[in-house]
Chain A
Amino acid sequence: MIIGCKPKSIDIELEQLEQKPVVWSQIIPGDIVLFYFSRSFSSLNEHQNNTGNQEFLNQILVEDGSMSISHDGNTENLIQLSSGIWTTNGLSTPLITDDFYTIHGRDNLLDKSISSTTQLLPTVTMSDQFSTEVIEGDSSAILKIEYHINDVPGDNWYLINAYSGNFNNFGNIEDTTANSATEVASQIITDQAYDTFDISSDLFLVDFQSDTLIITLSNITEEYYNYLALRERGGSIINQLTSEPINYPSNVEGGYGYFNLVIPDFKVVVVE
């Protein structure tokens, strides 16, 4: 006979996470850079199970703050679009390939500042030749997309995204490509595994909804590639169960996130 009592869990006082600013960047069509400026939050936050809640968003999006960008000895203040979003739209800072850019940010509520520097790498293009194949399953279909990259000399690291969905608002600053997509697939590759400049690989889009696709290719830094690779590996359920937790790297001094500037090449593909 098995009789047992469950012991009462012991509550512990762990030092709560020190809140820090979080930065992320994105170049959208028109060579406009968007910056997302927010704060980290404790795992004990009362909203942590409902992070879409507006009250919670108000807590983490930086409203009272400032951001600036420095390039080639010049510094300009970024324009705040809304709570947590800043942009270069309307500034004179040009986006020049291979140049370095530094951003500075300040969260007045936390009384903390961040800075980060990155290099704008040249855009690498994809060939216009895509082949697609629909693999029918019992209840859904998988779209296999074969693409070709016009690789350039040197070691390079690439991020490929495929979107299917309604792209009527494509290019609209308020409604970026991703926001309109219904299904997305991402892949990172490095040219070190290839001995040709014509890199070809396959991307799989699960449960795709639309016969029109947008495929983007971003030439990213090695550091950002390693970050994405670690996120990809560490995010799998098996890894979460069997591996030690990972503190993901960041290139932001004094905070979290990633400052990354890439001007992607994009193609529109119609599935035959």
Chain B
Amino acid sequence: MRNLLALILLLLPFYCLSQDITISGTLSDAKTGEALLFANIYIDGTNIGATSNEYGFYSITIPKDQIEGRELVLVVSYTGYQTKKVTLEKNTSIRYDIKMESEAINFEEAIITGTKGKEKKEVTSTQMSAIRIPMKNITTIPALGGETDVIKVIQLMPGVQGGGEGSTGMFVRGGDADQNLVLLDEATVYNIGHLFGFFSVFNSDAIKDITLYKGAFPSKYGGRLSSILDVKMKEGNLNEFHGKGGIGLLSSRLTLEGPLVKDKGSFTIAGRRTYIDKVFKTVGQNVPYYFYDLNLKANYKVSDNDRLYFSTYFGNDVLKFDENDIPEEERDSSTTGFGFGFTLGNITNTLRWNHIFNDKLFANTSLIHTKFDYDIFGKFLNNNILIKSNVRDLGVISNFDYYRSATTKIIFGASATEHIFRPNIVSTAGEISDFLKSSEGKKQNVLEYGLYGGVEKSFKDDLYKINFGLRFSGAAVEEKFYFSPEPRLAIRRRLNEFSSIKASYSFMKQYMHRVSSSSISLPTDLWYPITKNVKPQYANQMALGYFHLFDRKKVNFSAELYYKWMNNLIEYREGANLILNDNFEDELLSGSGDSWGAEFLVKKDVGNLSGWIGYTLSWATRDFDELNGGKTFWAKYDRRHVISVVGIYKLSKQWTFSAVWTYSSGARFTAQLGQYAVPNASFSGVDLVPVYSERNEISMSPSHRLDINFVHLSRRKNKERRFQGEWHFGAYNVYNRATPYRIEIKPLESGVGFKYTQPGLFGFLPSLAYNFKFSNRYEKVNNYLLIFYILFGTNDYWLQTQIH
């Protein structure tokens, strides 16, 4: 590997000696210095162009013969920014770092303005089956309890289905919840939900960009079958100190960012905490639960060609009930010292080095650490039990982008990650330890590798574009080595300037799994690696799509068909013992699954009216010899029709109105239909044995819901005013219709007999939230850091130690 890299680096300068000229550099926001990802850069009047990479680097190589006799004008466009045109010298390769001026004056205006050319990328790129969420839209969209949530916005996109109502579970193109790789600055996030999944772990104020890949996976990604969710944190303002925050119904948040060294380095720190526990305490109720999270990122430009980043995320869910915390006057006389609770926490750390070797070669190398802990504890009289489970990753990834010519881009890289799984570490004390011994659990190490390369090349004056990638993945576990080539192919053919068709094929392999019987987080939802006997899951996926840009209206339309077939899927055996079971392999079954469907999306990112309409028609099945009597059954989240309509309308400079209407066929359910009575095994009594439908045979009623939100932005008296606030007046489930999440058997109103009903979780729920942003002179930064510490640093030992 090292020799190959050396050879490539040695040969690269020879390419640069050709007669072509290369324009390269970085793309950033003029005010904040934040790198602008995936922006369109092209030479005016030609089909020659490029897209900035995920760190803002771009490189365009132009054959001399193509610019003879014409002016060389570089056009750069990016949603929410003024399109920039730059006339360049023709004869020399240059480095040109581009700073883009935002068109936005305030929060909303960024989403209602735009200029020609930006939306074409979806037509011209080979990438399909991908969703990029414009972060600026997210804060305006209605949200449960006024709590903005990026995962819930993703759930509104075609091909992505949520779990139960309000939850952050994700089921992509008929896959399971554990088949989504969630990356935060390249580090895996194993648990994406707070409060049993009602909130995602992503603080929207700290997030810069989110891209979800449902298929046509670039070769740099691997490790999960159904989706890759790539989340990038904000780097921080290089020029000015800024802050923003929000006070919501259930939680509050504060984000501070600013320069460490002006134009050289910056930081972002963002914290969030619920106060469910505090709110209920004021009305005398004890709800001993809260969550908090903290994002921190810092970066420093070591030179024009080198930049270092460090980012970290820390979040915890804490439930702690202790009988001793109940006021004495309310306590039962028979105090038993009863207590229980759990803590559930993610930590990610990424140390990244961006290096520009030359005008064609860009490299990113990252050291990554992730830890996911799940602790459950309980006590009763003199008995104590603590059960700990965790997954820890330590890895390195190195990725190279090589812009070989005007028509060819090459990527290559490698990754290696050590996963350490420690499920079910048990510590007991008291009498309970007589029959439940303390144990270290079963520790397992897995070394997962990836070596990949890919080339994107256009032909016939960009009529055709092909992206071929090959990833070699492998995992070493228990003296067994699994290895697999994972081919990826995407082809685009232009039909005309505004439309194209695309096709893709992906092979994905997964070396770990989390088997869950429910969409909410449960203590039993532990991650397990592959073993000698439990083989890696794998999936093949094919997709075909049509993409069209209605240029006058700036509306993108896409239609995709897909078929995915999955093997070595994992399910628990019927009646499996899920708690404290180190021999989990015995409880796992292997099977297969298929999913297929069509997805349609009409999207408008610019103008006074923006938003999208998405429709998904899909099917998903599973086959396990030992489940459902060996018969094929529907996947739990096999929903036939899903429609999302999202609209954001700018009423005036101060007011914005947004609405979301969703329709979804019901999730599937195994319903108890009847019973029969039989003697028990000892013939000492009668057991009532339930009779269920076939597995996931019953489809719950369809659900539909309207959520609305008004945003009022305070008027600025003058441009120098440094504080600005906005009020959010929202309503969830406006017409109060139940979104079924389970089936209940209830007595009939007549009192004779029973009926099946489907209750919903949340009805009409108004919400009020206040968001604000401010900027200040640098010398006052310490005051804000102090406020930050007071708000978020006093509740947790970790925060206290980190901030000190």
Report A's interface with B, CB cutoff 8 A.
1-17, 19-20, 22, 24, 26, 36, 38-46, 48, 51, 60, 159, 161, 163, 176-179, 181, 184-186, 188, 228-231, 233-234, 238-239, 242-248, 256-258
Residues of A within 8 A of B765 (CB): 2-5
Choose among A2, A26, A256 the residue that contacts B683 (Cβ–Cβ < 8 A).
A26
**Residues in A whose Cβ lies below 8 Å from that of B517:** 242-244
Q: Are B691 and A256 in contact (CB under 8 A)?
A: yes
Question: What are 8 pairs between A and B in contact, CB < 8 Å?
Answer: A9-B746, A12-B743, A42-B673, A45-B754, A186-B681, A231-B681, A242-B517, A247-B629
The docked-state distance in angstroms from the alpha carbon of A181 to that of B679 is 14
For residues 728 through 770 of chain B, which have their beta carbon under 8 Å from a beta carbon of chain A? Answer: 733, 736-740, 743-746, 752-760, 762-766, 768
Asked if B306 is at the interface (CB within 8 A of a chain A CB), the reply is no
Q: How far is the CB of B406 from chain A (nearest CB, A)?
A: 55
Among A42, A51, A178, contact of B677 (Cβ-Cβ < 8 Å): A51
**Whole-angstrom CA separation of A184 from B575 in the bound complex:** 23
Within B650-691, which residues are at the interface with A (CB < 8 Å)? 670-691
Is the Cβ of A11 less than 8 Å from the Cβ of B684? no
B753 touches A36 (CB 8 A): no
Contact B754 A44 (CB under 8 A): yes
Structural contact, A244 and B673, CB atoms closer than 8 A: no
Bound state CA distance, A32 and B661, in angstroms? Answer: 67
B339 to chain A, nearest CB (A): 19
Stretch touching chain A among B318-326, B410-418, B576-584, B771-779: B576-584
| Interchain CA distance A247-B757 in the complex, whole Å | 22
Tell me, yes or no, whether B524 is within 8 Å of chain A by CB: yes
Whether B71 sits at the interface, judged by CB under 8 Å, is: no
Q: Please tell me if the beta carbons of A184 and B682 are within 8 angstroms of each other in the complex.
A: yes
Contacts of B670 in A (CB 8 A): 244-245
* Nearest-Cβ distance from residue B664 to partner chain A, whole angstroms: 13
Complex-state Cα separation, A242 to B587, whole angstroms: 14
Q: What is the distance, in angstroms, from B721's C-beta to the closest C-beta of chain A?
A: 30
Decide: B760 and A42 in contact? CB cutoff 8 A. Answer: no
A261 to B292, CA, bound (A): 60
For A179, the chain B residues whose CB sits under 8 A away are 683-684
The one of A185, A231, A242 in contact with B524, judged by C-beta atoms closer than 8 angstroms, is: A242
Residues of B within 8 A of A22 (CB): 676-678
B676 near A39 with CB under 8 A, answer yes
* Interfacial chain A residues near B764, Cβ < 8 Å: 4-5, 7
Q: A5-B764, A184-B684 are in contact. Are A10 and B757 (CB under 8 A)?
A: yes
How distant is the Cα of A4 from the Cα of B680 in the complex, in angstroms? Answer: 46
- CB-based contact A51/B574 at 8 Å: no
Residues from chain A with Cβ under 8 Å of B673 in the complex = 14-17, 42-43
The docked-state distance in angstroms from the alpha carbon of A19 to that of B690 is: 13
**CB distance A46 to B679 under 8 Å?**
no
Q: Is B674 in contact with A5, judged by CB distance below 8 angstroms? A: no
Residue B695 at the A interface, CB < 8 A? yes
Counting chain B residues whose Cβ lies within 8 A of the other chain, the interface size class is: 35 or more
Which B residues touch A8, using CB under 8 A?
Answer: 736, 738
Cβ-neighbour of A256 out of B689, B755, B762 (below 8 A): B689
The residues of B with any CB-CB pair to A shorter than 8 Å are 249, 279, 517-518, 522, 524, 572, 574-579, 629, 670-692, 694-695, 698, 700-701, 733, 736-740, 743-746, 752-760, 762-766, 768
Given the known A-B contacts A5-B736, A7-B763, A41-B675, are A245 and B692 also in contact in the complex, defined by CB atoms under 8 Å?
A: yes
A243 to B674 CA separation, bound complex (whole angstroms)? 19
B746 — nearest CB in chain A belongs to which residue?
Answer: A9
Given contacts A22-B676, A39-B676, A244-B695, contact A10 B740 (CB under 8 A): yes
CA distance A247 to B522 in the complex (A): 23
Residues A38 and B682 in contact, CB atoms below 8 Å apart: no
Which one, B279, B733, B743, contacts A7 given CB within 8 A? B733
| Residue from B678, B681, B759, B760 in contact with A36 in the complex, judged by beta carbons closer than 8 Å | B678
On whether the beta carbons of A239 and B681 are closer than 8 Å, the reply is no
In the bound complex, what is the Cα–Cα distance between A177 and B743 (angstroms)? 40
A159 adjacent to B681 (CB under 8 Å): yes
- Measured CA separation A22–B678 after assembly (Å): 8
Answer whether A14 and B671 are a contact pair too, CB < 8 Å, given A230-B574, A243-B517, A243-B576.
Answer: yes
Cβ–Cβ contact A177 & B578, under 8 A: no
Complex Cα distance A59/B373, Å? 53
Within the complex, what minimum Cβ distance (angstroms) separates B694 from chain A?
A: 8
Q: How far is the CB of B692 from chain A (nearest CB, A)?
A: 5
A36-B678, A242-B518, A244-B574 given; A176·B754 CB < 8 A: no
Contact between A43 and B745 (Cβ–Cβ < 8 Å)? yes
Q: Which residue of A lies closest to B701 (CB)?
A: A10
Q: What would 18 more interface pairs be, CB under 8 Å, given A46-B752, A178-B683, A242-B578?
A: A5-B764, A7-B762, A9-B757, A10-B738, A43-B675, A43-B690, A44-B745, A44-B756, A46-B754, A159-B681, A179-B683, A229-B575, A239-B576, A244-B695, A246-B575, A246-B692, A247-B691, A257-B678
Query: Would you give the shortest CB distance from A254 to chain B, in whole angstroms?
Result: 13
Within 8 Å CB of A176, what residues of B? 683
CB atoms of A177 and B675 under 8 A apart: no
Residues of A within 8 A of B746 (CB): 9
Complex interface: chain B residues within 8 A of A60 (CB):
676-677
Inside 8 A of B701's CB, which chain A residues have their CB? 10, 12
> Which of A11, A185, A229, A230 has the most chain B CB within a 10 Å cutoff?
A11
Give A4 to B145 CA distance when docked, in angstroms. Answer: 10
Nearest neighbor of B571 in chain A, beta-carbon distance: A244
Report A-chain residues with C-beta under 8 Å of the C-beta of B679.
Answer: 24, 26, 36, 178
Which residue of chain B has the shortest Cβ distance to A38 in the bound complex? B677
**For the complex, what is the distance from the CA of A14 to the CA of B740, rounded to whole Å?**
15
Contacts of A247 in B (CB 8 A): 629, 691-692, 694
User: How distant is the Cα of A231 from the Cα of B676 in the complex, in angstroms?
Assistant: 14
B680 neighbours in A (Cβ, 8 Å): 186
State the CA gap A12–B671 with chains docked (Å).
Answer: 12
* Chain B residue at minimum C-beta to C-beta distance from A4: B765
| Closest residue of A by beta carbon distance from B732 | A4
In the complex, which of the residues B518, B575, B674 contacts A233, with contact meaning CB atoms closer than 8 Å?
B575
Question: Which residues of the other chain, A, contact B687 by a CB distance below 8 angstroms?
Answer: 231
- Distance of A247 Cα from B674 Cα, bound (Å): 11
**In the complex, residue of chain A having the shortest beta-carbon distance to the beta carbon of B678:** A24
A12-B756, A17-B674, A40-B675 known; A178 vs B577 contact (CB < 8 Å) = no
**Which residues in B have their C-beta under 8 angstroms from that of A19?**
674
| Bound CA span A19–B764, Å | 41
Find chain B residues with CB under 8 A from A177 CB. Answer: 683
Min C-beta distance of A134 to chain B, whole Å: 16
Residue of A nearest to B765 (CB): A4
Q: Give chain A residues whose Cβ lies under 8 Å from the Cβ of B524.
A: 242
Docked complex Cα distance between A5 and B732 (Å): 10
| Chain A hits for B695, CB < 8 A | 244
A3 CB contacts on chain B under 8 angstroms? 765-766
Nearest residue, chain B, Cβ from A187: B681
Establish whether residues B676 and A228, one from each chain, have CB atoms under 8 Å apart when the complex forms. Answer: no
Q: When A and B form their complex, which 7 residue pairs have the shortest distance between CB atoms, in order from nearest?
A: A17-B674, A233-B575, A178-B683, A5-B763, A7-B738, A40-B676, A7-B763
A236: min CB distance to chain B, Å: 8
Contact indicator B577/A239 (Cβ below 8 Å): yes
In the complex, residue of chain B having the shortest beta-carbon distance to the beta carbon of A180: B684
Q: Specify which of A5, A38, A163 is in contact with B676 (CB 8 Å cutoff).
A: A38
Across-interface contacts of B675 in A (CB, < 8 A):
40-41, 43, 48
Residues of A within 8 A of B738 (CB): 7-10
State how many angstroms separate the Cβ of A133 from the closest Cβ of chain B.
14
In the assembled complex, the Cα of A40 lies from the Cα of B762 at a distance in Å of: 36
Closest to B681 in A: A186
Instruction: Kindly state the separation between the CA atoms of A19 and B441 in the bound complex, as whole angstroms.
Output: 47
Q: How far is the CB of B632 from chain A (nearest CB, A)?
A: 15
Closest Cβ of chain A to B552, distance in Å, is 42
A255 to B363, CA, bound (A): 67
| A124 CB, min distance to chain B CBs, angstroms | 17
Q: Is the CB of B682 within 8 A of A163?
A: yes
Q: How far is the CB of B431 from chain A (nearest CB, A)?
A: 10
Give bound CA distance, A24 to B681, whole Å: 11
